[in-house]
Protein backbone atom coordinates (compact mmCIF):
# COMPACT_ATOMS: atom_id res chain seq x y z
CA UNK A 1 0.00 0.00 0.00
CA UNK A 2 1.40 3.41 -0.86
CA UNK A 3 1.85 5.98 1.94
CA UNK A 4 -0.95 8.23 0.67
CA UNK A 5 -3.55 5.45 0.71
CA UNK A 6 -2.29 4.37 4.10
CA UNK A 7 -2.73 7.85 5.50
CA UNK A 8 -6.21 8.14 4.08
CA UNK A 9 -7.10 4.78 5.58
CA UNK A 10 -5.70 5.92 8.91
CA UNK A 11 -7.82 9.07 8.77
CA UNK A 12 -10.93 7.02 8.01
CA UNK A 13 -10.18 4.68 10.92
CA UNK A 14 -9.74 7.60 13.31
CA UNK A 15 -13.00 9.21 12.22
CA UNK A 16 -14.80 5.88 12.52
CA UNK A 17 -13.48 5.56 16.07
CA UNK A 18 -14.71 9.10 16.75
CA UNK A 19 -18.18 8.23 15.51
CA UNK A 20 -18.18 5.06 17.63
CA UNK A 21 -17.29 7.05 20.78
CA UNK A 22 -19.96 9.60 19.95
CA UNK A 23 -22.61 6.87 19.55
CA UNK A 24 -21.61 5.10 22.78
CA UNK A 25 -21.83 8.39 24.69
CA UNK A 26 -25.02 9.72 23.13
CA UNK A 27 -27.09 6.59 22.60
CA UNK A 28 -28.31 6.11 26.20
CA UNK A 29 -29.33 9.79 26.40
CA UNK A 30 -30.98 9.57 22.99
CA UNK A 31 -32.78 6.41 24.06
CA UNK A 32 -34.10 8.14 27.17
CA UNK A 33 -35.55 10.98 25.10
CA UNK A 34 -36.81 8.65 22.35
CA UNK A 35 -38.59 6.43 24.87
CA UNK A 36 -40.23 9.47 26.43
CA UNK A 37 -41.83 10.27 23.06
CA UNK A 38 -42.84 6.75 22.05
CA UNK A 39 -46.37 5.42 22.38
CA UNK A 40 -46.56 2.42 24.72
CA UNK A 41 -46.79 -0.22 21.99
CA UNK A 42 -43.41 0.94 20.66
CA UNK A 43 -41.88 0.87 24.16
CA UNK A 44 -42.89 -2.59 25.29
CA UNK A 45 -41.63 -4.61 22.40
CA UNK A 46 -38.75 -6.99 21.90
CA UNK A 47 -37.96 -5.50 18.51
CA UNK A 48 -35.76 -2.43 18.07
CA UNK A 49 -37.63 0.73 17.08
CA UNK A 50 -35.02 3.44 16.49
CA UNK A 51 -37.34 6.47 16.32
CA UNK A 52 -40.69 7.21 17.87
CA UNK A 53 -42.98 7.02 14.85
CA UNK A 54 -45.08 9.02 15.11
CA UNK A 55 -43.82 10.85 18.24
CA UNK A 56 -46.36 10.96 21.03
CA UNK A 57 -46.65 13.59 23.74
CA UNK A 58 -48.71 11.32 26.00
CA UNK A 59 -46.01 10.61 28.56
CA UNK A 60 -44.81 14.20 28.81
CA UNK A 61 -48.39 15.37 29.20
CA UNK A 62 -49.10 12.73 31.81
CA UNK A 63 -46.15 13.62 34.07
CA UNK A 64 -47.28 17.24 33.94
CA UNK A 65 -50.98 16.61 34.62
CA UNK A 66 -51.44 13.34 36.46
CA UNK A 67 -47.87 13.42 37.58
CA UNK A 68 -45.63 11.33 39.77
CA UNK A 69 -47.29 10.05 42.89
CA UNK A 70 -50.32 12.24 43.30
CA UNK A 71 -48.56 15.45 42.32
CA UNK A 72 -47.72 16.92 38.92
CA UNK A 73 -44.02 17.02 38.16
CA UNK A 74 -44.09 20.83 38.44
CA UNK A 75 -44.05 20.45 42.19
CA UNK A 76 -40.76 18.53 42.20
CA UNK A 77 -39.13 20.72 39.58
CA UNK A 78 -40.11 23.70 41.70
CA UNK A 79 -38.74 22.13 44.91
CA UNK A 80 -35.47 21.25 43.19
CA UNK A 81 -35.11 24.72 41.71
CA UNK A 82 -35.89 26.37 45.03
CA UNK A 83 -33.37 24.25 46.94
CA UNK A 84 -30.63 24.60 44.33
CA UNK A 85 -31.05 28.35 43.79
CA UNK A 86 -31.18 29.17 47.51
CA UNK A 87 -28.17 27.00 48.26
CA UNK A 88 -26.25 28.60 45.39
CA UNK A 89 -27.05 32.20 46.35
CA UNK A 90 -26.20 31.65 50.02
CA UNK A 91 -23.10 29.66 49.15
CA UNK A 92 -21.89 32.28 46.66
CA UNK A 93 -21.74 34.97 49.35
CA UNK A 94 -19.72 32.80 51.75
CA UNK A 95 -17.52 31.49 48.95
CA UNK A 96 -16.71 34.91 47.50
CA UNK A 97 -15.68 36.33 50.87
CA UNK A 98 -13.56 33.32 51.77
CA UNK A 99 -12.00 33.11 48.29
CA UNK A 100 -11.05 36.79 48.45
CA UNK A 101 -9.40 36.18 51.81
CA UNK A 102 -7.23 33.29 50.61
CA UNK A 103 -6.44 34.74 47.18
CA UNK A 104 -5.73 38.35 48.19
CA UNK A 105 -4.25 38.18 51.66
CA UNK A 106 -1.42 36.38 53.30
CA UNK A 107 -2.25 35.47 56.88
CA UNK A 108 -1.33 32.99 59.47
CA UNK A 109 -3.89 30.24 58.90
CA UNK A 110 -4.10 30.59 55.13
CA UNK A 111 -2.32 27.33 54.27
CA UNK A 112 -4.09 25.47 57.06
CA UNK A 113 -7.42 26.64 55.69
CA UNK A 114 -6.56 25.50 52.16
CA UNK A 115 -5.55 22.07 53.43
CA UNK A 116 -8.73 21.94 55.47
CA UNK A 117 -10.74 22.63 52.31
CA UNK A 118 -9.09 19.67 50.62
CA UNK A 119 -9.48 17.28 53.50
CA UNK A 120 -13.17 17.95 54.10
CA UNK A 121 -13.76 17.15 50.46
CA UNK A 122 -12.10 13.78 50.86
CA UNK A 123 -14.61 12.70 53.45
CA UNK A 124 -17.48 11.03 51.61
CA UNK A 125 -20.65 13.07 52.01
CA UNK A 126 -22.51 9.81 52.53
CA UNK A 127 -20.50 9.34 55.73
CA UNK A 128 -21.73 12.66 57.11
CA UNK A 129 -25.30 11.66 56.40
CA UNK A 130 -25.96 10.09 59.79
CA UNK A 131 -24.68 12.95 62.00
CA UNK A 132 -26.25 15.59 59.74
CA UNK A 133 -29.54 13.70 59.88
CA UNK A 134 -29.57 13.71 63.69
CA UNK A 135 -28.49 17.35 63.75
CA UNK A 136 -31.20 18.47 61.32
CA UNK A 137 -33.73 16.46 63.27
CA UNK A 138 -32.66 17.99 66.58
CA UNK A 139 -32.97 21.59 65.40
CA UNK A 140 -36.39 20.90 63.91
CA UNK A 141 -35.47 21.22 60.23
CA UNK A 142 -36.25 17.60 59.38
CA UNK A 143 -38.71 17.33 56.50
CA UNK A 144 -38.18 20.99 55.60
CA UNK A 145 -36.67 22.29 52.39
CA UNK A 146 -34.71 24.78 54.52
CA UNK A 147 -32.82 21.91 56.16
CA UNK A 148 -31.88 20.55 52.75
CA UNK A 149 -30.78 24.01 51.60
CA UNK A 150 -28.52 24.48 54.62
CA UNK A 151 -26.93 21.05 54.19
CA UNK A 152 -26.28 21.71 50.50
CA UNK A 153 -24.57 25.02 51.27
CA UNK A 154 -22.18 23.08 53.48
CA UNK A 155 -21.62 20.31 50.95
CA UNK A 156 -20.81 22.65 48.05
CA UNK A 157 -18.88 25.39 49.88
CA UNK A 158 -15.39 23.84 50.06
CA UNK A 159 -15.30 23.21 46.33
CA UNK A 160 -16.74 26.65 45.54
CA UNK A 161 -14.06 28.41 47.61
CA UNK A 162 -11.38 26.23 46.06
CA UNK A 163 -12.50 27.03 42.54
CA UNK A 164 -13.36 30.69 43.06
CA UNK A 165 -10.00 31.53 44.58
CA UNK A 166 -8.28 30.93 41.24
CA UNK A 167 -10.67 33.41 39.62
CA UNK A 168 -10.00 36.04 42.27
CA UNK A 169 -6.26 35.51 41.98
CA UNK A 170 -6.50 36.02 38.21
CA UNK A 171 -7.76 39.61 38.61
CA UNK A 172 -4.74 41.95 38.46
CA UNK A 173 -4.16 43.51 41.87
CA UNK A 174 -3.01 46.76 40.25
CA UNK A 175 -6.64 47.63 39.51
CA UNK A 176 -7.55 47.50 43.17
CA UNK A 177 -4.42 49.39 44.10
CA UNK A 178 -5.33 52.13 41.61
CA UNK A 179 -8.81 52.43 43.09
CA UNK A 180 -7.28 52.49 46.57
CA UNK A 181 -4.89 55.30 45.61
CA UNK A 182 -7.81 57.22 44.11
CA UNK A 183 -9.31 57.19 47.56
CA UNK A 184 -11.87 54.41 47.29
CA UNK A 185 -12.67 52.65 50.52
CA UNK A 186 -12.23 48.95 51.08
CA UNK A 187 -15.85 48.14 50.39
CA UNK A 188 -16.03 50.32 47.26
CA UNK A 189 -12.84 48.73 45.93
CA UNK A 190 -14.29 45.30 46.45
CA UNK A 191 -17.75 46.05 45.08
CA UNK A 192 -16.87 48.33 42.15
CA UNK A 193 -13.54 46.87 41.02
CA UNK A 194 -13.02 43.29 42.12
CA UNK A 195 -16.60 42.06 42.01
CA UNK A 196 -17.39 42.89 38.34
CA UNK A 197 -14.16 41.23 37.25
CA UNK A 198 -14.77 38.10 39.31
CA UNK A 199 -18.43 37.87 38.29
CA UNK A 200 -17.88 35.46 35.35
CA UNK A 201 -15.94 33.16 37.66
CA UNK A 202 -18.66 33.46 40.25
CA UNK A 203 -21.22 32.43 37.63
CA UNK A 204 -19.17 29.36 36.67
CA UNK A 205 -18.69 28.36 40.29
CA UNK A 206 -22.38 28.88 40.99
CA UNK A 207 -23.37 26.71 38.03
CA UNK A 208 -21.21 23.96 39.49
CA UNK A 209 -22.87 24.28 42.85
CA UNK A 210 -26.27 24.35 41.17
CA UNK A 211 -25.63 21.11 39.28
CA UNK A 212 -24.29 19.41 42.42
CA UNK A 213 -27.34 20.43 44.44
CA UNK A 214 -29.76 19.65 41.62
CA UNK A 215 -28.33 16.12 41.32
CA UNK A 216 -27.92 15.50 45.06
CA UNK A 217 -29.78 12.33 45.99
CA UNK A 218 -28.96 10.76 49.33
CA UNK A 219 -29.55 13.79 51.59
CA UNK A 220 -32.76 14.67 49.79
CA UNK A 221 -33.84 11.06 50.28
CA UNK A 222 -33.05 11.05 53.99
CA UNK A 223 -33.94 14.55 55.16
CA UNK A 224 -37.32 14.81 53.41
CA UNK A 225 -40.30 12.65 54.19
CA UNK A 226 -43.33 14.53 52.86
CA UNK A 227 -43.93 13.73 49.20
CA UNK A 228 -44.88 17.33 48.44
CA UNK A 229 -41.31 18.35 49.33
CA UNK A 230 -39.47 15.76 47.24
CA UNK A 231 -36.78 17.04 44.91
CA UNK A 232 -36.50 15.63 41.38
CA UNK A 233 -34.03 12.80 42.10
CA UNK A 234 -36.17 11.49 44.96
CA UNK A 235 -39.36 11.90 42.93
CA UNK A 236 -37.74 9.83 40.17
CA UNK A 237 -36.76 7.12 42.62
CA UNK A 238 -40.30 7.12 43.98
CA UNK A 239 -41.69 6.97 40.45
CA UNK A 240 -39.53 3.95 39.58
CA UNK A 241 -40.61 2.17 42.75
CA UNK A 242 -44.27 3.00 42.40
CA UNK A 243 -44.94 2.47 38.70
CA UNK A 244 -41.98 0.40 37.59
CA UNK A 245 -43.70 -0.47 34.34
CA UNK A 246 -44.45 3.09 33.21
CA UNK A 247 -41.14 3.48 31.38
CA UNK A 248 -42.54 6.20 29.11
CA UNK A 249 -43.44 8.39 32.07
CA UNK A 250 -40.18 7.60 33.89
CA UNK A 251 -38.15 8.56 30.82
CA UNK A 252 -40.14 11.76 30.33
CA UNK A 253 -39.39 12.74 33.95
CA UNK A 254 -35.70 11.80 33.60
CA UNK A 255 -35.45 13.90 30.46
CA UNK A 256 -36.97 16.88 32.25
CA UNK A 257 -34.44 16.50 35.03
CA UNK A 258 -31.51 16.23 32.62
CA UNK A 259 -32.28 19.23 30.39
CA UNK A 260 -31.22 22.04 32.78
CA UNK A 261 -27.97 20.26 33.64
CA UNK A 262 -27.16 19.71 29.98
CA UNK A 263 -27.74 23.38 29.18
CA UNK A 264 -25.53 24.48 32.08
CA UNK A 265 -22.84 21.98 31.09
CA UNK A 266 -22.58 23.37 27.60
CA UNK A 267 -22.28 26.88 29.08
CA UNK A 268 -19.36 26.11 31.39
CA UNK A 269 -17.72 23.15 29.69
CA UNK A 270 -14.52 24.95 28.82
CA UNK A 271 -13.82 26.03 32.38
CA UNK A 272 -14.96 22.73 33.81
CA UNK A 273 -11.72 20.85 33.30
CA UNK A 274 -9.33 23.43 34.66
CA UNK A 275 -11.57 23.90 37.69
CA UNK A 276 -11.77 20.21 38.51
CA UNK A 277 -8.17 19.31 37.80
CA UNK A 278 -7.05 22.33 39.83
CA UNK A 279 -7.98 20.08 42.64
CA UNK A 280 -11.29 19.09 44.02
CA UNK A 281 -14.07 16.67 44.08
CA UNK A 282 -17.46 16.56 42.51
CA UNK A 283 -20.39 16.23 44.91
Question: Within 244-263, which residues bind other proteins (CB under 8 A)?
Answer: 247, 250-251, 254, 257-258, 261-262
With CB under 8 A as the contact rule, the residue among 6, 8, 9, 22 that binds other proteins is 22
Does 206 bind other proteins (CB under 8 A)? Our answer is no
Residue of 167, 161, 169 whose CA lies nearest to 114: 161
| Stretch of 56-64, 65-73, 94-102, 199-207 contacting other proteins, by CB under 8 A | 94-102
CB 282 within 8 A of CB 276: yes
- Return the sign of the alpha-carbon dihedral for residues 194, 200, 203, 205: negative
* Total interface residues for other proteins by CB under 8 A: 110
With CB under 8 A as the contact rule, the residue among 6, 7, 9, 25 that binds other proteins is 25
| Stretch of 55-63, 64-72, 174-182, 196-204 contacting other proteins, by CB under 8 A | 174-182
**Of 3 and 28, CB closest to other proteins:** 28
CB proximity list for 231: less than 8 A, separation 6 or greater = 76, 79, 80, 83, 148, 216, 220, 224
With CB under 8 A as the contact rule, the residue among 155, 163, 194, 209 that binds other proteins is 155
Half-sphere CA count of 26, side-chain side, radius 13 A = 8
Distance (Å, rounded) from C-alpha 89 to C-alpha 248?
A: 35
With CB under 8 A as the contact rule, the residue among 9, 12, 57, 123 that binds other proteins is 123
Does 100 bind other proteins (CB under 8 A)? Our answer is yes
Say if residue 235 is exposed, middle or buried (CB neighbours under 10 Å; 0-12, 13-18, 19+): buried
Q: Peptide bond before 54: cis, by omega within 30 degrees of 0?
A: yes
Distance (Å, rounded) from C-alpha 180 to C-alpha 80?
A: 42
With CB under 8 A as the contact rule, the residue among 69, 71, 85, 142 that binds other proteins is 142
Least Å distance, CB 18 to other proteins, is 5
With CB under 8 A as the contact rule, the residue among 71, 101, 197, 203 that binds other proteins is 101
**Of 1 and 122, CB closest to other proteins:** 122
Name which of residues 28 to 87 contact other proteins (CB under 8 A).
Answer: 28-29, 31-32, 35, 43-48
Does 240 bind other proteins (CB under 8 A)? Our answer is yes
Distance (Å, rounded) from C-alpha 250 to C-alpha 257?
A: 11
Name which of residues 210 to 239 contact other proteins (CB under 8 A).
Answer: 214-215, 217-218, 222, 232-233, 236-237
Does 89 bind other proteins (CB under 8 A)? Our answer is no
CB proximity list for 208: less than 8 A, separation 6 or greater = 156, 159, 160, 163, 268, 275
Amino acid sequence: MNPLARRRLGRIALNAAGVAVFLFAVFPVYWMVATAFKPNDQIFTTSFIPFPSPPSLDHVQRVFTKGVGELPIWQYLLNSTLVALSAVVLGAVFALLAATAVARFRFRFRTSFLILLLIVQMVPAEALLIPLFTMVKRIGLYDQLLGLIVVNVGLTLPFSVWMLRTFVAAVPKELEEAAWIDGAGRFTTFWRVLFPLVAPGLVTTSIFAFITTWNEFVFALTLINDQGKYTMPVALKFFVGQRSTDWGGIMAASTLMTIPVLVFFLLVQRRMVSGLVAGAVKG
